[in-house]
Structure 1
Amino acid sequence: MTINVLMTVPTGPGVGLTSVSVGLVRALEQQGLKASFFKPVAQPQPGDKGPDKSTAMVAQGSSLTPAEPIPLHEAERFLYNDNIDELMEEIVGRFQASVEPDSTVIVEGLAQIAGHPYATRLNKAIARTLDAGLVLVTAPNNMRVNELEHHVEIAAGSYGGIKADDVIGCILNKTTPGSLGVKSYGDLFAQRGIFKRNFSLLGQIPSADELTFPRVKDVADFLGANIVNAGEMETRRVQSYTLCARGVENVLEALKPGVLVFTPGDRTDVIMATAIAALNDIKIAALVVTGGYQPSEALMSLCGKAMAKGLPVLSVNSNSWETVINMQSFNQEIPLDDKERVSMVKEHIARCIDHEWINSFALNQEERKLSPPAFRFRLIELARSLNKRIVLPEGEEIRTIQAASICAERGIARCTLLGNEKEILRTAQNNGIELSHGVEILDPASILERYVAPMVELRKSRGLTEIVAREQLEDNVVLGTMMLQTGDVDGLVSGAVHTTANTIRPALQLIKTSPDASLVSSVFFMCLPDQVLVYGDCAINPDPNAEQLAEIAIQSADSASAFGITPKVAMISYSTGGSGTGNDVDKVREATKIAQELRPDLLIDGPLQYDAAIMEKVAKQKAPNSKVAGKATVFVFPDLNTGNTTYKAVQRSADVVSIGPMLQGIRKPVNDLSRGALVDDIVYTIAITAIQAGNIKS
């Protein structure tokens, strides 16, 4: 068993040691490397209950199940009795039970917090015991370059100094551009002697305000508030707060997206103004009425429409001033049930770690399993390298606007929103969404005319006239499809408010299938805890015949390869091998034969039952000679009923994230969204569409 061990240790208090540690695990997972995590000793914060926070954060969205750390009181007992060797034995036992063979292990050291003077001493002993390379974590805290250099060198001195073989380098956390007197933290390499061959700058993690925004629910719990109207308190986040005790005309500027409004409960005018702002689609975080006042039923009825739009209203007994002062002690740490924020922190930190350094820990590159984090990371990186232009016909829809903003910020694609510019900008402003120059807004009325003639030419065999073409182009999906057909954009994503038919029909009429395809099909990327699988076809073809099913299998295999998944194709049926009979099994058996003959380079086997395709133990019993059974990565279902039911059953029962459907066989990339799509779903679909555009052979 080969294991690389990296231990994160702080250079001082408040450096964000836990966030960096869990982010390092995600960085390893993104690169497809086998990762493990271990926290030797728990350090709970006052009021913490339940499992260790670091361990629980690592386990969220991952297949890892790290061992629980030694309780702090037990570790202190060993130290006070001068039994540090016995403590190390206990730590080694838990370490060996926690790590996977051939993995890179991130060990989180003890943070430097009040009342724990032994942290550095214990970190040294743990690192020596586990033979760990040391990664210093520091936060510049407005230090100048020379101050930072001395700070890191002094901290490294506790572990043998920056020249020691096991002191690898430093990660700068919570950085602010310009705070060290340099334009870029990379300039530290050129300017200072601290970062040398054996001691490197391993990551620069900028501060990000959005990672600190708590949910309204968290604030309500902290204040012990009574819930007058729950609204969207589970999802709305607090970006700032304001005390409104003056006349309404003096508080209007404070009513912004994300603001938590405190006002005395008898200030009916402020309550009404906040409700009016909510009715104008300004996503105020919440309204908190103070002083123990309860808004009257008449007032609540008058503000009913604002409440229906999701405005949370809370009530507290303390007065406004006491409540605001109390907020100063609000704990900004991430609650474990805030999965969205935990994921955001992981992804943010992982993006900022030196990827070359992470890849240096590859032990068996060829055996890397494409985990969900690795798959999502690959999607984003591939899309960024292509710089494609994607049209979004549902440009006035809030999730679509937010996704376009994220894509611009991260350089995933250049998004074009179709819709009324004033309406789009108003929606963005009211929801605190920043639309940079990377997002283009086009008013459909201003561009419609240029696509009339090309559309008439395309459909002249169908007798399309200019009048009818102009009428059809008033549908933004049709207009976006014509933009794609004429090469003005590289791909199209729609479906957040339109049906699948609305998205696909124009593409089939105007763009048509690829030269080598006779049908359009679809795949879902199913993000299981430890692996990404491909399911096809779960959205398009109701009952394909054997030839069509073979084509779907080949399309799905090629799609898997395009996204870094080694295709091992299982043709799914209710029977494995030759054990069953019937028209449905015969169809799958014939489709398997056709696909194998058309593409002998692919691993395709069938018919296989689902359990035989995915479980090695079952495969050994039912299909012992199959190279696919038990190892399948692409699952091709015999009909839409089976495919759609299976993907939804797996998605819902196993809490699996599914990305798709991604359409296959169309000459240019068009992709459909679920009408319940989340913002992240739209972002990843845009990335997939950009990658498909890059794979088109000109």
Structure 2
Amino acid sequence: MARSVYITSIDRGDGRQVVELGVMELLTRQVDRVGVFRPLVHDGPDRLFELLRARYRLAQDPATVYGMDYHEASALQAEQGADELVSTLVDRFHLVARDYDVVLVLGTDYADTQFPDELALNARLANEFGASVIPVVGGRKQTAESVLAETRNAYRAYAALGCEVIAMVANRVVPEDRQEIAERLATRLPVPCYVLPDEPALSAPTVAQVTHALGARVLLGDDSGLARDVLGFVFGGAMLPNFLNALTPGCLVVTPGDRADLVVGSLAAHSAGTPPIAGVLLTLDEIPSDAILTLAARLAPGTPVVSVPGNSFLTAEQLFSLEGKLNAATPRKAETALGLFERHVDSADLLRRVSAPSSDRVTPMMFEHKLLDRARADKRRVVLPEGTEERVLHAAEVLLRRGVCDLTLLGPVDQIRKKAADLGIDLGDAQLIDPAVSELRDSFAEKYAALRAHKGVTVELAYDVVSDVNYFGTLMVQEGLADGMVSGSVHSTAATIRPAFEIIKTRGAARSASGRVVAGDGRAKPDADIVSSVFFMCLADKVLVYGDCAVNPDPDAGQLADIAVQSAATAAQFGVEPRIAMLSYSTGTSGSGADVDKVREATDLVRARRPDLRIEGPIQYDAAVEPTVAATKLPDSEVAGQASVLIFPDLNTGNNTYKAVQRSAGAIAVGPVLQGLRKPVNDLSRGALVQDIVNTVAITAIQAQSPALEEKAITQ
């Protein structure tokens, strides 16, 4: 039977959705098939399940998710007793459990229910489901002593009812009390207790949620603006100078619609970034003139301006009762929630306690999760030269909220801040640098001139060159001010990697300068003569490594051998056991010709240089990946039929193949990931999505986690 985890509580208002989302994230990192079951549900849409389904691409039929609604359950218990209710819910749970490896059970929510002892009902259901239990206690606006007492009492209550409590969570506690509560609970409970501080951004409604709750009419604003969190309210009544002093970051300005001065003034302040606001809510059903709305749209494009018919007092009453909710329409809140969970929960220990079975398959989602986990485990700084690009800013927000790495964004600082404010993005602790006015520009110019003196580059010329964001970012990496760089969402591949060739150079160039390169095991390092690339091709049940699909148009045999060795090392670094297939239109000795001979020679070179690597070539694609074909064509090969690293003979073949597999097989292509440079610099496709950028930055951070060995190898 499937292992199941039951998330429950003792009362409403505990923000339990953060824990449910966090546990789901943990489970999907390790298990391919995760089901969801909610024993009792209210009428209307289930916001959390819709979020889980969208975020984790759940294929589960929504009809199987729910046991029954509260009204049906209450009537059944009243007429036939609690045993019949529990028996019915257990039957419906097993319909889900039989189809999944693990089931996440979302306990009852204590809201508008008619069960006299809801805690006991949750405990009994958990026991009948055979589920381990994680109770959540809400600590918002409570003293430390109160949180301590409630958490200990909740543990005793569930343990006394026979539940297998594997951990406790105290959520939404006063941030200043978090450490004290965690330390005291660690000595008073026999299971781990994770203590999460209250996070205002999670309870803050978005402008869209305010608009929906108040039945407001949207006059101006786009989807990004409506997705902004409302972190406070400022009610307009004062004259403009005093009013501007009252504005706070993320506030929603509430003012009568006839106060055009306050509307224009607040949007002008937002445009200047002093401070960025969430939007403007107009009351009394008064609409500014077309001229004012046109000016407003030009001052702060995308910033919401909405209108309600009520007066400011009635509107305020409604506003102060609103609270933000996690749902599929608030992906940024989900990132905040996961970042909070991951910072304060020992994920590895909790996953062991859950005892979720490990899957032999590696799904795209598992691979992406592992990237973020590994990057987060040893945080590095990555520089993003395209700091004003919208997709880069959205990706930066995800990376910062999830705590994946530290970031430096390059570009005119005022433009970055304004763009982020327009998008409602919080860049947190990100470092912002404008290369044109940075104090580093002079020293970078001197360093670049010294590096390129043999090409006639003077300091004066270098001063202009290093103001380019890609050159500046590359010099930051070279000088240790950043650990890696990712660019290319609006720059060409050449513009991204040319500075790296000139400044960071290949490992082979470093070997030429120092005489030799020694790897950690003492072998001469043979894999760094050229820069090449790989794509991680995330198929439904495995990850393959394709190289080179982005850099070298027509590598010769020696270069092809270098690409193979580099790609094997990259695969191993990211948890893919390297079994190399040197691809050709012929398998084994069945064909001949210049193209086949090149692949055969490259295969022999790899075997001579790295006899420890498993490699086969020349080999056709089908024989490389399909066991039945391999059994016919190369029955004695230890690679054929199970290749994980596929090396294409030229760029034409590789680029077309990866795109064909990506589009036709629905694979997720992560890359290109550059290899062969002394320090990590990676290129993005100009069509890169936000998640592509997130993945590439995570990969770059992981590549930067072991630079000491590489630097040692280069200098020895």
TM-score normalised to the size of structure 1? Answer: 0.82
Partners of 1:77 and 1:362 lie apart in 2 by 34
Summarize deviations over 1:183-224 as a string: whole Å, max 9, x none.
Answer: 43331146x53x13xxx1342222222233444333333333
**Equivalent runs, 1:5-154 vs 2, <5 Å:** 5-30=4-29, 32-33=30-31, 36-44=34-42, 48-49=44-45, 52-62=46-56, 64-66=58-60, 67-72=64-69, 73-82=71-80, 84-99=82-97, 103-117=101-115, 119-154=118-153
Deviates more, 1:432-441 or 1:116-125: 432-441
The whole-number CA distance in structure 2 between the counterparts of 1:672 and 1:304 is: 35
Contact 1:404 / 1:439 at 8 angstroms: preserved in 2?
no
The alignment partner of 2:576 has SS state of coil
CA separation in 2, counterparts of 1:419 and 1:436? Answer: 16
Residues 7-46 of structure 1: CA deviation (Å, up to 9, x unaligned): 222122222334322321212334x3566343241322x6
**Change over 3 Å in CA distance of 1:86–1:617 after alignment to 2:** farther
Q: Which residue of 1 aligns with 2:672?
A: 661
2:454 matched residue in structure 1 = 461
Query: 2:319 is matched with which residue?
Result: 327
1:276 to 268, 273, 289: 268
Q: Deviations over 1:482-516 (max 9, x none)?
A: 44345554333333543321121111123222223
Distance 1:222 1:564 in 2: 47
Q: Take 1:174 and 1:222, find their aligned partners in 2: how far apart are those partners?
A: 24
**Of 343, 347, 365, which aligns to 1:355?**
347
What's the counterpart of residue 550 of structure 2? 539
User: 1:294 corresponds to which residue?
Assistant: 287
Q: SS at the partner of 2:176?
A: coil
Q: C-alpha distance in 1, partners of 2:638/2:391?
A: 43
Matches within 5 A, 1:97-246: 97-99=95-97, 103-117=101-115, 119-161=118-160, 166-179=164-177, 183-189=179-185, 193=188, 195-196=189-190, 200-231=191-222, 232-233=224-225, 235-246=227-238
Give the distance between the partners of 2:110 and 2:182, measured in 1 at CA.
27
Distance of aligned partners of 1:423 and 1:446 in 2 relative to their CA distance in 1, 3 Å threshold: farther
Summarize the Cα distance change of 1:53–1:446 in structure 2 as closer, same or farther, 3 Å threshold.
closer
1:633-673 CA-partner distances (Å, limit 9, x unpaired): 54545554555456566667888765433211112221223
Q: Could you list the per-position Cα deviations for residues 48-97 of structure 1 after superposition, in whole angstroms to 9, with x for gaps in the alignment?
A: 23xx4444333333355454222214434432332655544544444344
The 3 A distance-change label for structure 1 pair 214 and 553 is farther
Comparing 20-29 with 294-303, which one deviates more in the overlay? 294-303
What SS class does the counterpart of residue 360 from structure 1 fall into?
helix
CA distance in 2: counterparts of 1:695 and 1:580, whole angstroms: 42
Whether contact under 8 Å (2:538, 2:544) holds in the other structure is yes
* Contact in 2 for aligned 1:202/1:357 (Cα 8 Å): no
The percent identity for this pair of structures is: 37
Looking at structure 2, the residues matched to 350 and 368 of structure 1 have their Cα atoms a distance apart, in angstroms, of: 25
Tell me the CA shift for residue 388 of structure 1: 4.1
Taking structure 1 as reference, are residues 424 and 9 closer, same or farther at Cα in structure 2, changes over 3 Å only? closer
1:449 correspondence with 2:448: no
CA distance in 2, matches of 1:508, 1:556: 19
Q: Helix, strand or coil for the counterpart of 1:493?
A: strand
**Aligned amino acid, residue 67 of structure 2:** I
Query: TM (normalized to structure 2)?
Result: 0.80
Q: Is the 8 A contact 1:526 1:658 kept in 2?
A: yes
Q: What is the correspondence of 1:549-560 to structure 2 with a 5 Å cutoff?
A: 549-560=560-571
Structure 2 equivalent of residue 504 of structure 1: 497
Q: Give 1:138 deviation, angstroms.
A: 0.8
Name the CA distance, whole Å, in 2 between partners of 1:285 and 1:529: 40
AA partner of residue 468 (structure 2): D
Hey, what's the Cα distance between the residues in 2 that align with 1:97 and 1:632? 38
Q: Distance in 1 between matches of 2:410 and 2:219?
A: 39
Question: Residues 538, 252 of structure 1: CA spacing in aligned structure 2 closer, same or farther, 3 A cutoff?
Answer: farther
Cα deviations by residue, 1:460-486 (Å, 9 ceiling, x for unpaired): 433334443333233342233344345
The one-character-per-residue Cα deviations of 1:593-641 (angstroms, maximum 9, x if unpaired) are: 7656655544555777878877889989999887667766545455545
Write the distance in 2 (CA, Å) between the matches of 1:206 and 1:370.
Answer: 33
Distance 1:132 1:466, change over 3 A: closer
Distance 1:361 1:495, change over 3 A: same
- Do the aligned partners of 1:384 and 1:413 also contact (CA within 8 Å) in 2? yes
What CA distance in whole angstroms lies between the structure 2 residues aligned with 1:223 and 1:361?
Answer: 44
Unmatched 5+ stretches in structure 2: 509-526
Deviates more, 1:524-533 or 1:331-340: 524-533
Give the direction of change, closer, same or farther, for the CA distance of 1:603–1:26 in structure 2 (3 Å limit).
farther
> What is the match of residue 513 of structure 1?
506
- Contact residue 244 and residue 251 of structure 1 kept, 8 A: yes
**Post-superposition CA distance 1:427-480 (Å, at most 9, x none):** 778867465497788775523333445434433433334443333233342233
1:185/1:204 contact within 8 Å kept? yes
Measure the CA separation in 2 of the matches of 1:77 and 1:643. 63
Q: Secondary structure at the match of 1:284?
A: coil
Q: Which amino acid aligns with 1:298?
A: A
Number of aligned positions between the proteins: 683
User: For residues 74 and 619 of structure 2, what CA distance do their matches in structure 1 show?
Assistant: 56
Cα distance in 2 between the residues matched to 1:237 and 1:173: 20
Equivalent residue of 2:473, what SS?
A: helix
- Cα shift readout 1:515-570 (whole Å, capped 9, x = no counterpart): 23232122344556766554433432334455544433432232121122333456
Query: Cα RMSD over matched residues?
Result: 4.3
Task: Write the distance in 2 (CA, Å) between the matches of 1:144 and 1:166.
Answer: 28
Contact 1:36/1:99, CA 8 A, preserved across alignment: no
Q: 1:36 to 1:266 in 2, by over 3 A?
A: same
Contact 1:473–1:479 under 8 Å retained in 2:
yes
SS at match of 2:140: coil
Q: Is the 8 A contact 2:27 2:34 kept in 1?
A: no
In the TM superposition, what is the alpha-carbon distance from 1:379 to its structure 2 partner?
3.7
Residue identity opposite 2:472 in structure 1:
L
2-structure distance, mates of 1:625, 1:222: 68
Aligned equivalents of 1:393, 1:139: Cα separation in 2: 42
Secondary structure, counterpart of 1:689 in structure 2: helix
Relative to structure 1, the CA distance from residue 261 to residue 620 in structure 2 (aligned partners, 3 Å threshold; closer, same or farther) is: farther
Aligned to 2:521: none
